[in-house]
Structure 1
């Protein structure tokens, strides 16, 4: 092969080809971050044939050392909270503080006032609400999800087989419908316009999301193993956030990223997926979500499990 393809030593300054266009491009002249040992072609130790690199698996591994997980997993309860005597409502109050219902009442009253001023009329059936009534209103809505009937009015039916006596003792159907008309949990006056740089698709419920995101995380300490995955909230209406995921039991709905304990399934953090955004991401959508969901548990020596989103 050497006779058929003679090669001149481009590193020899006395070579007859010193004026060659390749002069000055020896390995020692090329800057590199990787050091590659260079052997001259005239070296006596040079082999006539290239050796193939080894591709065999090895059973020798470098030892890996991890710090121990030292946190104590489980609920974080107030000192005066007796979990054996507490009712479901007491646990509910740990997640939904009274101040949240007070804010809901304030925003509802403000919206009702703005609505009547905008329309230039007074609503004679409206009276201002308070935190206690809003809490009862939320409770009735939760129970409606557990005890479904065709229409809202049916809960207040005089028929003993159709109506619900508990609803009748809390408030009238007219008052419930009036709260439905004006109910708000955010400040309508501060809402960014659609198309504005700071427009938030979840602005109308953002205060509730931020509130429970804090209480969920403050009320429980995860164990060593945690998992990040996508969940779907069933929804068939028209909404730009609606997603389709054929591999999920619920195929159409609102996608939510969740951080949960692998053993107890407790969710301490969640993030609603708003759809594809215009801003570019350096590492990809899944990478950013995983990094965001684990921001509070970094450095705690936990094991994080997630799907391969590539």
Structure 2
């Protein structure tokens, strides 16, 4: 069950995809006392966030507090808290009074490896109650059957992108159609708010995006610093491309959907057209690779919104959660922002596989027909992995591999219990096979720094490999046996984390109070990142920094508008050369209505009431002859 989506269930129900609901003895597990008291109190009435924080204030154990999101409404343009003040502990009154749920944090099964391999299991918060998922009875045997092996898969071909510049690759995602759409929606938003027409153009939007990209690799203390008059702050490229007031106005009017046609059931309705466009473009330009990892990405956000999540022990603790499927290199194939428990999703898949596992299948269902029919191998962590999910993937023609929780395996599993295996030496493992009528799944349980279990419809434990681990006893690195399935999981998993690392390295630093701004800039960064992955795939040696600079420089130099010169525009324009010296009808006459005009002769600064009748320029009497003589 999705830990952010608690539902009322029978006490004896068991969720095969959620952590165990068995109540341990309080004498063995002291933290159960606090959980029991919380449960008794919450049964009388729902807890608020403020009450939950008070209860946990003096606790040493790790707990997660989940806050109920409000429903989205028309007022989605309302400003949130200031993004310049990143103090997440400052919760507003509405957040403190919102409904809350407390859950004890789970423990990761795998310790950090010494050779920088990815963690083979990720801690997930256990759910308060569990929902039973109907599952066909499985037949278990000790050991493993011979797996079919890796199916054939076409080699990735990036040749069609060989002659593309960085800007052309970026515009595969943010294309002319999207730029035109943004211009139309921004003008429409100005009319909706009864503001003066912004008269923005596609070229200005490109310059605006270029400045945002610059802020990622050349951040400033504040947005205004780019236009500072101080030479140690001022960015000449930005100043010469767009004025600060114009940037602020475009930023204020930027919009992606018609406010009169918002879907109140969609909490991301303000960004939905942009999300759908980038989902389609990411799929269109995805060069198929066999290994795809499914995981969650966090988009940092400290303001107020119903979909904002708080996940402890994460690099980004507060923000929006996005379900992602990535290649090993980090290219984002498919994504969908998480909308909380009020968003139903695919009810049929959730009932059959559980809400976390259903997200894997929901994203796969969004693949284009051409790319859906390939034999992918999907990798996920223990939050998503269930045996029914692996069997379903196998029946669809895919393979799946993932770490799996001990309580998700079932009581019939003949593998040694994790607690008993913890007493074994490092490198000890055993395997078992679960079969239904048609398909089989191999489970490998391995003792490393901790005990980890990996389930796979593709890999067993053979051939046995080895990894380097530090031995505290021998004071040196030693070789430790590792099952093949776990080794391949480490190799195939981690694409989403790699994307996060690349994006956050040059994350757009200009901030806004709009709730959707951080998601929009994340998608802009994601488009640049995907374009860079295509560039790397076809053999380009450009680093991500060089790639981003190429795009920014192209937009700022090609579409930027130089600032006008200082001072007031002259009211006296010079006469045309052939008229000035033709000696025909040049007479001194008074300026109409007895007004004053500045003398047009070079070097004269006088202001008088006389002018030339033919040249129509202001001239004092003493300069009249000189002005008309070559």
- Normalization by structure 1: what TM-score? 0.69
1:242 matched residue in structure 2 = 308
> Does residue 167 in structure 1 map to residue 238 in structure 2?
yes
Matched, 1:269 2:334: yes
Structure 1 residues 249 and 278, CA, compared in 2 at 3 Å: closer, same or farther? closer
Larger displacement relative to structure 2 (201-210 or 279-288): 279-288
C-alpha deviation, 1:72, in angstroms: 2.8
| Cα pair distance change 1:160/1:58, threshold 3 Å | closer
Shift of 1:73: 2.0
Change (3 A) 1:64 1:106: same
**Matching residue of 2:362:** 292
SS class of match (2:170) = helix
* 1:57 lines up with 2:142 in the alignment: yes
Distance 2:180 2:207 in 1: 12
The alpha-carbon deviation at position 87 of structure 1 amounts to 3.1
Aligned pairs for 1:147-296 within 5 A: 147-192=218-263, 196=264, 199-262=265-328, 264-277=329-342, 279=344, 281-282=350-351, 283-295=353-365, 296=367
Structure 1 distance, partners of 2:273, 2:312, is 31
Q: Pick from 162, 165, 187 the counterpart of residue 87 of structure 1.
A: 165
- Work out whether residues 257 and 272 of structure 2, in 8 Å CA contact, stay in contact via their aligned partners in 1: yes
Unaligned 5+ residue runs, structure 2? 1-139, 384-407, 409-630
Report whether the alignment pairs 1:131 with 2:205: no
302, 305, 310: which one aligns with 2:376: 302
Kept in 2, the 8 Å contact 1:69–1:300? The answer is no
Deviations 1:108-134, CA, capped at 9 Å, x for gaps: 111112222xxxxx63xx541121111
Change (3 A) 1:133 1:76: farther
Aligned CA distance change for structure 1 residues 149 and 301 (closer, same or farther; 3 Å): same
Question: In the alignment, what sits opposite 1:13?
Answer: none
1:71 matched to 2:154? The reply is: yes
* 3-state SS in 2 of match to 1:107: helix
**In structure 2, distance between residues paired with 1:270 and 1:177:** 30
Distance in 2, matches of 1:301 and 1:156, equals 52
Q: Indicate how the Cα distance of structure 1 residues 58 and 68 shifts in structure 2: closer, same or farther if over 3 A, else same.
A: closer
Q: Distance in 2 between matches of 1:238 and 1:76?
A: 45
Does structure 1 conserve the Cα–Cα contact (< 8 Å) formed by 2:190 and 2:198? no
Query: Where do 5+ consecutive residues of structure 1 fail to align?
Result: 1-54, 117-121
Alignment partner for residue 179 of structure 2, among 76, 95, 101? Answer: 101
Post-superposition Cα deviations, 1:4-61, rounded to whole Å, max 9, x if no partner, equal: xxxxxxxxxxxxxxxxxxxxxxxxxxxxxxxxxxxxxxxxxxxxxxxxxxx98367x3
Local SS of the residue matching 1:153: helix
CA distance in 2, matches of 1:138, 1:56: 58
**Rounded Cα–Cα distance in structure 1 between residues aligned with 2:373 and 2:181:** 36
1:215 deviates by 1.2
Q: CA separation in 2, counterparts of 1:278 and 1:102?
A: 31
Secondary structure of the structure 1 residue equivalent to 2:281: helix
Shift of 1:66: 6.2
Q: Please list, as runs of the form range in 1=range in 2, the aligned pairs for 1:4-19 lying within 5 A after superposition.
A: none
Please report how far the alpha carbon of residue 181 of structure 1 lies from its aligned counterpart in structure 2 after TM superposition: 2.0
In structure 1, the partner of 2:412 is none
Structure 1: how far apart are the matches of 2:143 and 2:205? 66
* Contact 2:298 2:320 survives alignment (8 Å): yes
- Determine the C-alpha separation between the residues in 2 that align with 1:67 and 1:299: 16
Number of residue-to-residue matches in the alignment: 236
**In 2, Cα distance between the equivalents of 1:216 and 1:204?**
20
Closer, same or farther in 2 for the Cα pair 1:58/1:134, shift >3 Å? closer
What is the CA RMSD across the aligned residues, in angstroms?
A: 2.4
SS of the residue aligned with 1:204? coil
TM-score between the two structures when normalised by the length of structure 2: 0.35
Indicate how the Cα distance of structure 1 residues 211 and 155 shifts in structure 2: closer, same or farther if over 3 A, else same: same
Please say which of residues 91-100 and 147-156 is displaced more in the overlay: 147-156
Report 1 or 2 for greater relative contact order, CA contacts < 8 Å, sequence distance ≥ 6. 2
Aligned partner of residue 106 in structure 1, secondary structure: helix
After superposition, the Cα gap between the structure-2 partners of 1:239 and 1:72, relative to the gap in structure 1 and judged at 3 Å, is same
Q: Residue 67 of structure 1: CA displacement?
A: 7.7
Q: Kindly indicate whether the alpha-carbon contact (under 8 Å) linking 1:72 and 1:221 is maintained by their aligned counterparts in 2.
A: no
- Given the superposition, is the C-alpha separation of residues 56 and 228 from structure 1 closer, same or farther in structure 2, using an over 3 Å criterion? closer
